Structure 1
């Protein structure tokens, strides 16, 4: 099995305010299907990037977003599936429910410890 991140950036969802509850309901339905298929690991939407806290390598903590970053993650899901093709099928289902473009990336395999 391989783990894949299915994600979207802030601004990707261009949905009229009145349609958001339906999109949320559709996305939750896909999550439930993924759970039933034992593919879903975790996921969710993220608060706006302006509410982020940045931790530097020296331990310094700064309130607010990383000024070096040009795009910000808005939401994600992690699935554990057999193949990239399986991950892409889940992503297509989520993209239809969320009405936005999604990016799919495989996690680096973990060494057997």
Structure 2
């Protein structure tokens, strides 16, 4: 089976404040369904109140991520399903629940992971 990353950046969540409770309930329901189906690996949201730290090979650190890269934020989930079509179906469920489009990416297979 293949692992898929389903994600969205924070800016994609253009939801009125009065709908946020419903979004939370619906997204949690979709994740519960994925867990019941045995396809959910893990997920969550990036804690944007904690800035990233760039760690070098020698262990030194610098505040912030790569200065030339866009920031990583928003929410994500990793699913493991047998087909791309099934991954697309789960991404559509999450898009409905979160009220925003989801990006779907494939993890490359690494036998050591």
Q: TM-score under structure 2 normalisation?
A: 0.89
Q: Distance in 2 between matches of 1:67 and 1:88?
A: 32
Q: Provide the residue aligned with 2:54 in structure 1.
A: 54
Q: Provide the residue aligned with 2:28 in structure 1.
A: 28
Q: How does 1:1-113 map to 2 (within 5 A)?
A: 1-48=1-48, 51-111=51-111
Which 4+ runs in 1 deviate beyond 3 A?
none
Find the residue that maps to 1:96 and give its secondary structure.
helix
**Unaligned segments of structure 2, at least 5 residues:** none
User: 1:53-97: per-residue Cα shift (whole Å, max 9, x none)?
Assistant: 222344221223432222423110000000111100000000000
Q: Distance in 2 between matches of 1:105 and 1:49?
A: 26
Native 8 Å contact 1:54 1:61 kept in 2: yes
Change (3 A) 1:57 1:101: farther
Q: Distance in 1 between matches of 2:9 and 2:45?
A: 10
Native 8 Å contact 2:51 2:64 kept in 1: yes
Cα RMSD of the aligned pairs, angstroms, is 1.9
Greater alpha carbon shift after TM alignment, 70-79 vs 60-69: 60-69
Q: How far off its partner does 1:20 sit?
A: 1.1
Q: Distance in 1 between matches of 2:71 and 2:52?
A: 13
